[in-house]
């Protein structure tokens, strides 16, 4: 008898911080968005992802602007809200 074995890799899922975005007036600079949802400094990384498969997302802002940061961690637009939270 022959068996086909498939190795199943369980992917970690990010923690949903909130089911709405966080709007912030941002100054030019480099920021690191929390992708795991564990940071106590949302929407930014505080290193809480260490030991997981998550990495922060680098965001460079060139000019002052209002940003809608994703807090559900499900956006198809990375760090930026695309209103996916409305479907959760």
Among 14, 19, 51, smallest CA distance to 33 is for 14
**Helix, strand, or coil here: 31?**
strand
User: pLDDT truncated to tens, each residue of the chain (88 aa)?
Assistant: 454 555 555 578 999 999 999 999 999 999 999 999 999 999 999 999 999 999 999 999 999 999 999 999 999 999 999 999 999 9
Q: Structure pTM?
A: 0.85
């Amino acid at each position: 008898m022959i068996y086909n074995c498939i190795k199943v890799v369980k992917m970690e899922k990010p923690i949903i911080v909130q089911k709405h975005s966080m709007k912030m007036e941002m100054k030019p600079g480099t920021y690191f968005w929390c992708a795991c949802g564990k940071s106590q400094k949302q929407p930014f990384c505080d290193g809480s992802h260490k030991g997981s498969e998550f990495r922060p997302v680098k965001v460079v802002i060139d000019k002052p602007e209002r940003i809608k940061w994703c807090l559900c961690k499900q956006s198809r637009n990375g760090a930026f809200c695309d209103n996916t939270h409305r479907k959760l």
